[in-house]
Amino acid sequence: MNTITTREAQEVRAANESGKQPVVFVHGLWLLAESWKPWRDHFEAQGYSTVAVDWPEDQGSFAEAHANADSLAGTSVADVADHVADVIAGLDRKPVVVGHSFGGLLVQIIAGRGIAAATITIDPAPSKGVLPLPFSSLKAAFPVLGNPLNYSRTVTLTFDEFRYGFANAVSEEEARHLYDTVHTPAPGRPLFQAATANVNPWAKTKANKKNPDRGPMLVVTGENDHIVPFAMANAAYKKQRKNAGVTEIVEIPGVGHSLIIDSGWATVADTALDFLARQGVTAE
């Protein structure tokens, strides 16, 4: 079934018509594609073309997401990975893929399929084989994993839950602003899939880390991230560095899981752009 939206198709068409190197952005849980707008503007100013991918059944705006809070109920990692791959299939050139949180896991899956020119995986949710489970990660995931019924539901965080998991490294005022403008309901199923991956031989969170066509990859982690602390991101890096391609990791000082949407986002974006430049993945 074709799940590509009209907006996504238009952005793919525009990217192809531009002839420029495309960059595909993939969001994670509790966010929407629109959360990447500052990044897209920044990358386009550097000469890239950009596409922001929805998750299947995503709503188009913050208000619509809250008005249709159950639209993503039951959505799985495989559903989203296949959708991202379908969007990429419409591009004339292999794209750079940039993902945050579960989007960071998804772009690793995409890279493992050999369909990315380069990958920026930011605070990535754990793929199969990533073993560390720090206490802060378990605490941040408890609002979902604490109730087995959430497997087939969506979950809206309370402000305190969002503050702990996402916005612990920004001011109370900024945390409240982010909660009131970007936080949206998210499906519980991906978190359950990640939590059980290492005991499930058929886990859908597996990323092929040995594909020689994976391309260069940068793992980005925030120093104060509660959801994906350094130990978890570093474990992903250690798995990925076995690939023949360039694999690097960088820790951004003083930031938490909201690093792509809070007031420090440009530092993270410039770190990604610097990596692409060093790998020769230019806008043209």
172: left (phi over 0), alpha (psi -120 to 50) or beta: alpha
What pLDDT, in 10s, does the model give residues 183-236? 999 999 988 887 765 545 555 567 889 999 999 999 999 999 999 999 999 999
Q: What pLDDT is attached to residue 284?
A: 78
What pLDDT, in 10s, does the model give residues 59-96? 999 999 999 999 999 999 999 999 999 999 999 999 99
Q: What pLDDT is attached to residue 199?
A: 47
Task: Assess contact for 8 and 36: CB atoms under 8 A.
Answer: no
What pLDDT, in 10s, does the model give residues 94-116? 999 999 999 999 999 999 999 99
The number of residues making up the chain comes to: 284
Q: Is the pLDDT of residue 136 over 90?
A: no
Domains in the chain, CATH or no CATH each: 6-278 (3.40.50.1820)
Q: What pLDDT is attached to residue 2?
A: 77
- CA pseudo-torsion sign 77, 169, 134, 267: positive
